[in-house]
Chains A and B, each alone.
Chain A
């Protein structure tokens, strides 16, 4: 099928297009140079923004942890539901939406690619089964590898190439996309109810430090030529004073970066940009982090913006979640996974009038505005940890408009307001910068060559938003901008129009992307590995991998490794 998107203001930063009025031609699911004007279906985008489909680098949408969150929170669903229609399946929201609803809601906002950032390898099948039930958007997931016993042991012994081969086996076996580290070393330590306190704290019984794990996996990442960098949730997350840990974490791989290329992604940076000794003296550490990032080119990050709402926190960081339970007294789920990782869930309500929550809200925006290069920081809420992803249009408005920030700032805790850096920041982002932070930059950081841009050959994933950049000043008319990003005028996925004015037109199955990491010699399953397997896990080796038949729409990406 051919499609022609006519006369829109196109924002395609990866191809240097900044709001030019032009047509985008689509054929067989790809962007092409031109199509037969008479035959092609035409979409009139005049007076509207045309962007590549949104890309989300970090959003918990599927898998065992997310599903425990759904189970834990019936009250989250009661008021927010979507009935079945002739086209769509029914479902529920709010902070942990059911699978179908997740796909529809992303598509309605013009998003077409979402990365689930935390998959316990042993439970990878669960993530993939849920992916099959998340329609429209393309997905991928990052296996949690920072506390996997194989990694700890091989890195401790300095056997980096063997470690790399096992990581390659693991990524391919779990049909994963990137190396995820969560509180490296801390999750193994949580196995007995403790935690590590910093980069140089030893992991009990394993004689290895978080620093060694991060550096080791950073090297492994390079040996394997993975498209994304290591994706790191830092140690000490959610603790006052932790901005130091965040900076140290970036520093610790500085020397491993090549040719100014990123070597590390610090995720939901807001949660590790806290200054102060305790909650009372909490302050923003955003300036220190921004200064570091502005002066270096080896790190990217995402915001983890806080939204004032009732949400559900969920991370693989078991000890952090337990601390959050102790702090809030809310219900708490813990789920440790043998040999690999842990996880926890705590419902959480961010309130405007809370000093700490308001400081957190401010930190996220400060980071996004103080870091000068939008290719280095991306928009996320760490859904649902900072708030549900449906709040993205609000964040766009805050980033584009001082006035929007001021309006919210007026309503927050006064002490937090008086300390916020936001009043001193004049910067207001333009549509091009928003396009970078919500799609182009994320796709680039992920190494997704066919996503995040509208060049010839790219996937025909397109979002059209009903706001005219020539006549709308986002700084003043931020509410119209917010409205436009909330409901795309059209979302096009693989060349098919799937959304019209926020209404789902088609229920198509999105693809699951995964890395087929090919090592120089195919990975042999040694006797050593089989023996370890029996010792380490309670399932048989044969039953561990996710076979391809678990992926209803499988999109393997071949990666040639150097080991």
Chain B
């Protein structure tokens, strides 16, 4: 049985590239090294929601069509539109995005990627403040303090901790895995005792986070070796394994960040609590931040999408920047989709801007809040849409989704998702990273090759190829129009 090694996992922004796949009769039968999300993707991608034939809406119903017809119809829609939007891109290859940008320029549309609904604020903040960052290996080798803020890697980026941070083995810092196992055992013991006590006294679990109840502030924070801190509104899985968990009151992240900024400058806070957390705890944590050799702060949509959005990230980036006058500190957004970083990257090198790029004046314009798709849709300005590898109908605000489906809509996707159900043309595509090769950028901007390890269904093409065909068809239509105009 052939085994393909060093396959890059096309699921989350950790982009683990050590997956081993066993192939039998052209099918993936076994996945090694991957997490549960990865396994389920490689084993189940070919499920019942798979689209196998192009579809075109006729008399209100989606009916099968040839690829040529569907491409032709798509090109007509885009060529006729005054202000089409081209959206998605974070779950496809950089090569596809590259063609997408050319297409957007050709039809004078707005091209935007899913960053707009997750780490858009992070990018805007970076443009204001900058960012102190690095590749993930740097953290593996050096970080003795790792903080996850508003992000639950254990659930959303399952191998992040093991490959890149606390549990990874670096040149200057060892893995904390053993310590964690010991801790788990201890906590299982403690939980048993607790449950016995509960049964005896019929008491409810304490509602205050237990770490605040223990006698000492944080027994582990001053110890040697790598430390893990989790800051979140909920006690997540990741919080369970942290040396220190700070439960911040919902929408109070900004206050907490500003408190840290003051504390690391050795300023006193004249309140007892910030965001529901006693100040002494914060002082300990800020001491750990200043005292570490190399600190890393990862933040997720818990921070970018909670109240304050932009202000939160501004404060987080500033905190880390300021920490660099005391020690070495870096910060990194936990990018969700496997290639959302790549979509931003390609867009930036071709147009100067990472997302929300408007070509309607013939050159790239960028003004998130105005040129971002959701805003274009809310203002009901677009008159057609091409969606690639994304499901905005399921994710966008209702009003935006309504305007989206009111106009001609084309979906390029391997799956029959909610948006595809509402589309006028559906073009099935190969799964990038399984049935199509290409390049993706990890959350730290390290480019990795995506492999083609299985055959797509017959006649189903990769996004890149589909987009090329649409582009050339659009150009044909435009040329014809021009000739006709000149003849008149």
Give A residues with C-beta under 8 Å from B.
Answer: 62, 64, 67, 70-74, 76-77, 81-84, 89-92, 96-100, 122-123, 125-126, 129-130, 133, 191-193, 205, 322, 325-326, 331-339, 342, 345-346, 535-543, 547
Q: Can you report 23 residue pairs joining A to B where beta carbons are below 8 Å apart? A: A67-B348, A71-B123, A71-B354, A74-B353, A83-B362, A83-B363, A84-B359, A84-B362, A98-B351, A99-B350, A126-B345, A130-B349, A133-B349, A193-B327, A326-B325, A332-B132, A332-B321, A334-B330, A336-B135, A337-B135, A539-B17, A540-B5, A540-B6
Report the separation of the CA atoms of residues A465 and B36 in the bound assembly, to the nearest whole angstrom. Answer: 63
Let me know if A98 and B445 touch, CB within 8 A: no
Let me know if B127 and A535 touch, CB within 8 A: no
B294 CB contacts on chain A under 8 angstroms: 191-193
B126 CB contacts on chain A under 8 angstroms: 71-72, 333
Report the separation of the CA atoms of residues A89 and B448 in the bound assembly, to the nearest whole angstrom. Answer: 27
The answer to whether the Cβ of B129 comes within 8 Å of any Cβ in the partner chain is yes
A72 CB contacts on chain B under 8 angstroms: 126-127, 130
A334 CB contacts on chain B under 8 angstroms: 130-134, 324, 330
Report the separation of the CA atoms of residues A64 and B447 in the bound assembly, to the nearest whole angstrom. Answer: 10
In angstroms, how far is the closest chain A Cβ from the Cβ of B155? 21
With beta carbons under 8 angstroms apart, the residue of B169, B328, B350, B447 that contacts A126 is B447
Of residues B94, B123, B130, which shows the largest number of chain A Cβ atoms within 10 Å of its Cβ?
A: B130
The answer to whether the Cβ of B8 comes within 8 Å of any Cβ in the partner chain is yes
A77 CB contacts on chain B under 8 angstroms: 352-353, 364, 366
In angstroms, how far is the closest chain B Cβ from the Cβ of A334? 4
Contact of A70 with B348 at beta-carbon distance under 8 Å, contacts A81-B363, A537-B137, A538-B140 already known: yes
Report the separation of the CA atoms of residues A89 and B351 in the bound assembly, to the nearest whole angstrom. Answer: 10
Residue in chain B with minimal CB distance to A538: B137
Secondary structure class of chain A's binding surface, majority of residues = mixed
The answer to whether the Cβ of B119 comes within 8 Å of any Cβ in the partner chain is no
In angstroms, how far is the closest chain B Cβ from the Cβ of A332? 4
Of residues B102, B141, B361, which shows the largest number of chain A Cβ atoms within 10 Å of its Cβ?
A: B141
A539 CB contacts on chain B under 8 angstroms: 17, 446, 448
Q: Which of B309-356 contact A (CB under 8 A)?
A: 321, 324-325, 327-328, 330, 344-346, 348-354
Let me know if B351 and A333 touch, CB within 8 A: no
In angstroms, how far is the closest chain B Cβ from the Cβ of A261? 37
Let me know if A191 and B138 touch, CB within 8 A: yes
Let me know if A191 and B6 touch, CB within 8 A: no
With beta carbons under 8 angstroms apart, the residue of B102, B131, B345 that contacts A67 is B345
In angstroms, how far is the closest chain B Cβ from the Cβ of A135? 12
Which 6 A-B pairs have CB atoms at the shortest separation, nearest pair first? A338-B137, A193-B328, A336-B134, A331-B130, A83-B362, A92-B352
Let me know if B293 and A331 touch, CB within 8 A: no
Q: Which of B152-197 contact A (CB under 8 A)?
A: 163-164, 169, 171-172
Of residues A70, A205, A346, which shows the largest number of chain B Cβ atoms within 10 Å of its Cβ?
A: A70
Let me know if B123 and A82 touch, CB within 8 A: no
Let me know if A99 and B349 touch, CB within 8 A: yes
B445 CB contacts on chain A under 8 angstroms: 64, 123, 126, 335
Report the separation of the CA atoms of residues A83 and B365 in the bound assembly, to the nearest whole angstrom. Answer: 10
Q: Which of B290-322 contact A (CB under 8 A)?
A: 293-294, 321
Known interface pairs A122-B446, A334-B131; 13 further A-B residue pairs with C-beta atoms within 8 A, sorted by A's residue number: A84-B363, A91-B350, A126-B345, A193-B294, A325-B130, A326-B325, A333-B132, A334-B134, A338-B136, A338-B141, A536-B137, A538-B136, A542-B6
Let me know if B130 and A339 touch, CB within 8 A: no
Residue in chain B with minimal CB distance to A336: B134
Let me know if A192 and B293 touch, CB within 8 A: yes
Let me know if A205 and B98 touch, CB within 8 A: no
Let me know if A331 and B327 touch, CB within 8 A: no
Report the separation of the CA atoms of residues A77 and B138 in the bound assembly, to the nearest whole angstrom. Answer: 32
Residue in chain A with minimal CB distance to B441: A126
Report the separation of the CA atoms of residues A384 and B129 in the bound assembly, to the nearest whole angstrom. Answer: 20
Contact of A74 with B352 at beta-carbon distance under 8 Å, contacts A90-B363, A126-B447, A331-B130 already known: yes
B457 CB contacts on chain A under 8 angstroms: none
B130 CB contacts on chain A under 8 angstroms: 72, 325, 331-334, 345-346
B446 CB contacts on chain A under 8 angstroms: 122-123, 538-539
The answer to whether the Cβ of B18 comes within 8 Å of any Cβ in the partner chain is yes
> Chain B 362-377, CB within 8 Å of chain A: the 1/0 string?
1110100000000000
Contact of A129 with B129 at beta-carbon distance under 8 Å, contacts A83-B361, A92-B352, A337-B134 already known: no
B6 CB contacts on chain A under 8 angstroms: 540-543
Residue in chain B with minimal CB distance to A89: B105
Q: Which of B62-103 contact A (CB under 8 A)?
A: 94, 98, 102
Let me know if B135 and A122 touch, CB within 8 A: yes
A83 CB contacts on chain B under 8 angstroms: 361-363
With beta carbons under 8 angstroms apart, the residue of B102, B128, B132, B330 that contacts A89 is B102
Let me know if A91 and B138 touch, CB within 8 A: no
B448 CB contacts on chain A under 8 angstroms: 539, 543
Let me know if A91 and B345 touch, CB within 8 A: no
A339 CB contacts on chain B under 8 angstroms: 137, 141
The answer to whether the Cβ of B449 comes within 8 Å of any Cβ in the partner chain is yes
In angstroms, how far is the closest chain A Cβ from the Cβ of B449? 6
The answer to whether the Cβ of B439 comes within 8 Å of any Cβ in the partner chain is yes
The answer to whether the Cβ of B142 comes within 8 Å of any Cβ in the partner chain is yes
Let me know if B349 and A67 touch, CB within 8 A: yes
A97 CB contacts on chain B under 8 angstroms: 352
Of residues B123, B171, B351, which shows the largest number of chain A Cβ atoms within 10 Å of its Cβ?
A: B351
Report the separation of the CA atoms of residues A334 and B327 in the bound assembly, to the nearest whole angstrom. Answer: 14
Contact of A133 with B98 at beta-carbon distance under 8 Å, contacts A83-B361, A90-B105, A538-B163 already known: yes
Report the separation of the CA atoms of residues A492 and B366 in the bound assembly, to the nearest whole angstrom. Answer: 34
